[in-house]
């Protein structure tokens, strides 16, 4: 079957979901010699950076399914997976779903003490780790055994793998976790249908690309976005290179990503906001990014200052009256989303020629029913007024694992409350102002929206690479501190107070206590690179009070 027809057949296949992509690809006749996944690490002796065909990928997954089955893993068994490499994560995810088990994917950056408690709360049957994480967990009470070293799973005999589990739409296929920016990461369960809903409705419904598509994923493999980006590449029959651990330590990941782009020549680069912030350290005109036509962001909304630099790089094919021609510049798709949302619900497209920023997240996808709600009344707020984002979507995770309290706490009138604050303009575009938990009531109807303030600071201060606004009560009043991460060569003593006061607006500027350039290590980030603002607020305000 040709790839285009295969896409339509997959989109129309009611049995296909996130639990059985390899099975259904094979049953639809996808070419086993076609693209599988390329990893940046060796897989069972197969060298790093050498593509695994679809057939070879399926065989490596079957080996793990056979080993796990022989070990005693059965349908509905939750198994924690705490590893660093994208190969270990994705191959074992697919192997466990082969068995109908429930892989609980953990970000390898999760600190061991938190990981141990997270594993205990899962109440699963065991943990699969790599050597580094096994050492981290050594001597810790996990409530379940560590099954084995993850490399052992690859030694199974693919021929002895049991028949693939046949999933129902509602079957759980993965537990992933939120970034844990405010608390213990929340374990979120995804179903066979929910985790595949966007691939079916968006990624298999969009027009096929002209020419070869090569996706470089810098997303964290253990998260919903990691799984979705893998499955959309496989179903679209695109080449996929999946870097491990988002390119490694964040402050060095920019180099890793740029090197990977020059080496592998992707047409699309998928990442979280931290990746674009890290690329802002570099003069992109000095690197060969000409292969890149698309940057795809999900998780947090990306910053204008970072996006503008990216869309000026790369190149893309376009049709003109002179025929098909390659022109400079690329496209940036910004898709705010979260683990619980199961996929981004909004889509904003930026190009060199576009100028709609100010934390505009675009418009909702057709599959998403979005309402901006007043939590007091449960009613929608009018255009222009900030409300809490409520979402109904087939992508929504069914709930939190072992946590009905929070599953129901975040629902209102049939909507899932995403925890975001947005307003909508008269043209139907949505603008993200802040996470609800980070916004600060200044009294008199005035609010400090930290994310929107950071956006405005970055656009007004080009020598600021990234920034964080923290606010809270101190000395009997509300105070706001602005922490700046400066670009290389920027003057740390430059007076930016005027621009920053303007960015904050009158009411918030009145609470401004200090503006300080800080080293990277002062910014507390979670395992996916998200700033842990809640924790920072507590620490920073405590530290400044003490001093």
Partner 1 sequence: MADSIQQFIFDSLQEMNYDVEGISENTELGPRGADLASLGLAELAIRVEDEYGVKFDEDEAEELADMTVGEFCAVVAQRLSTAKTAAE
Which of these ranges, 207-215, 243-251, 279-287, 301-309, lies near partner 1 under the rule CB under 8 A?
Answer: 207-215
Specify the residue, 252 or 318, whose C-beta has the smaller distance to partner 1: 318
- Least separation in angstroms between residue 500's CB and partner 1 is 34
**Which listed residue (321, 444, 445, 521) binds partner 1 by CB under 8 A?**
321
- Residue 7, interface with partner 1 (CB under 8 A)? yes
CB of 392 to partner 1, least distance (A): 20
318 binds partner 1 (CB under 8 A): yes
Q: Are 101 and 79 in contact (CB under 8 A)?
A: yes
Contacts by residues 406-412 (CB-CB < 8 Å, ≥ 24 positions apart): 406/186, 410/340, 412/373, 412/375, 412/378
- Name the β-bridge partners of 464: 486
User: Per CB under 8 A, which of residues 337..366 are in contact with partner 1?
Assistant: 349, 351, 366
Size of the site for partner 1 (CB under 8 A): 22
Residue 312 found at the interface with partner 1 (CB under 8 A): no
Q: What is the nearest approach in angstroms of partner 1 to the Cβ of residue 22?
A: 21
Which position among 1, 4, 160, 385 is part of the footprint of partner 1 (CB under 8 A)?
4
206 near partner 1, judged by CB under 8 A: yes
Instruction: Please say which residue, 321 or 477, places its beta carbon nearer to partner 1.
Output: 321
Shortest distance (Å) from residue 474 CB to partner 1: 46
319 binds partner 1 (CB under 8 A): yes
Q: What is the bridge-based pairing of β-strands 323-328 and 315-320?
A: antiparallel
490 scored as a contact of partner 1 (CB under 8 A): no
Q: CB within 8 A of 370, min separation 6: which ones?
A: 345, 346, 364, 389, 390, 391, 430
Element (H, E) at 17: none
Considering only the C-alpha atoms of the chain, give the largest distance between any 2 of them, rounded to a whole number of Å: 70
Stretch 210-239: interaction string toward partner 1, x if CB under 8 A: x-----------------------------
**404 lies in the binding site for partner 1 (CB under 8 A):** no
DSSP state letters, 286-299: GS--TT--EEEEEE
Angle between helices 450-460 and 304-311 (to 10 degrees): 50
207 sits near partner 1 (criterion: CB under 8 A): yes
8 belongs to the binding site for partner 1 (CB under 8 A): yes
Quote the Cα angle for 408-413-415, to 5°: 70
Residue 488 binding partner 1, by CB under 8 A: no
Looking up tokens 């996944």, which residue turns up? 37
Q: What is the 3-state secondary structure (H, E, C) of 224-266?
A: HHHHHHHHHHHHHCCEEEECHHHHCCHHHHHHHHHHHHHHHCC
From the list 238, 222, 249, 350, the residue with the least C-alpha distance to 296 is 350
Identify the residue among 26, 114, 144, 205 touching partner 1 (CB under 8 A): 205
Q: Exposed (0-12), middle (13-18) or buried (19+): which is 139, by Cβ within 10 Å? A: exposed
Please report, as ranges, the residues that interact with partner 1 according to CB under 8 A.
4-5, 7-8, 11-12, 204-210, 317-321, 324, 349, 351, 366
């Amino acid at each position: 079957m040709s790839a285009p027809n295969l896409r339509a057949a997959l989109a129309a296949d009611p049995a296909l979901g996130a639990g059985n992509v390899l099975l259904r690809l094979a049953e639809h006749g996808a070419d086993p010699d076609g693209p599988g996944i390329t990893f940046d690490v060796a897989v069972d002796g197969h060298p790093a950076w050498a593509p695994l065909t679809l057939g070879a990928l399926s065989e490596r997954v079957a080996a793990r399914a056979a080993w796990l089955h022989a070990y005693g893993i059965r349908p509905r068994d939750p198994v924690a997976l705490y590893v660093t490499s994208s190969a270990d994560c994705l191959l074992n995810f697919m192997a466990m779903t082969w068995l109908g088990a429930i892989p609980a994917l953990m970000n390898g950056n999760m600190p061991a003490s938190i990981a141990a408690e997270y594993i205990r709360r899962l109440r699963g049957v065991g943990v699969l780790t790599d050597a580094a994480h096994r050492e981290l967990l050594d001597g810790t009470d996990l409530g379940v055994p560590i099954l084995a070293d993850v490399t052992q799973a690859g030694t199974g005999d693919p021929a002895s793998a049991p028949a693939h589990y046949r999933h129902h739409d509602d079957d759980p296929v993965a537990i992933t976790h939120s970034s844990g920016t405010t608390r213990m990461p929340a374990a979120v369960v995804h179903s066979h249908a929910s985790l595949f809903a966007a691939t079916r409705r968006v990624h298999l419904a969009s027009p096929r690309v002209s020419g070869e598509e090569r996706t470089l994923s810098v997303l964290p493999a253990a998260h919903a976005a990691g799984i979705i980006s893998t499955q959309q590449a496989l179903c679209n029959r695109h080449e996929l290179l999946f870097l491990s651990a988002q390119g490694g330590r964040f402050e060095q990941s920019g180099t890793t990503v740029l090197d990977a782009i020059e080496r592998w020549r992707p047409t699309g680069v998928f990442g979280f906001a931290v990746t674009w912030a890290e690329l802002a350290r570099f003069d992109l005109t000095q690197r060969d990014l000409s292969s890149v036509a698309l940057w795809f962001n999900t998780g947090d909304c990306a910053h204008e200052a970072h996006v503008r630099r990216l869309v000026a790089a790369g190149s893309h094919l376009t049709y003109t009256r002179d025929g098909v021609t390659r022109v400079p510049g690329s496209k940036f798709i910004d898709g705010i989303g979260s683990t619980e949302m199961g996929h981004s619900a909004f889509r904003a497209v930026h190009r060199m020629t576009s100028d709609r920023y100010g934390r505009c997240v675009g418009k909702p996808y057709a599959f998403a029913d979005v309402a901006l709600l007043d939590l007091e009344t449960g009613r929608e707020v009018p255009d222009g007024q900030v409300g809490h984002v409520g979402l109904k979507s087939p992508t929504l995770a069914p709930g939190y694992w072992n946590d009905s309290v929070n599953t129901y706490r975040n629902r209102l009138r049939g909507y899932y409350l995403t925890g975001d604050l947005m307003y909508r303009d008269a043209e139907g575009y949505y603008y993200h102002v802040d996470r609800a938990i980070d916004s600060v009531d200044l009294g008199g109807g005035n609010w400090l929206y930290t994310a929107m303030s950071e956006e405005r600071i970055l656009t007004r201060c080009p020598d600021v690479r990234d920034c964080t606004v923290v606010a809270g009560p101190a000395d009997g009043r509300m105070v706001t501190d602005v922490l700046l991460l400066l670009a290389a060569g920027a003057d740390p003593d430059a007076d930016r107070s005027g621009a920053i006061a303007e960015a904050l607006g009158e009411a918030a500027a009145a609470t401004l206590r200090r503006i300080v350039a800080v080293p990277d290590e002062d910014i507390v980030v979670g395992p996916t690179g998200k700033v842990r603002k809640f924790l920072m607020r507590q620490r920073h305000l405590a530290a400044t009070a003490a001093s």
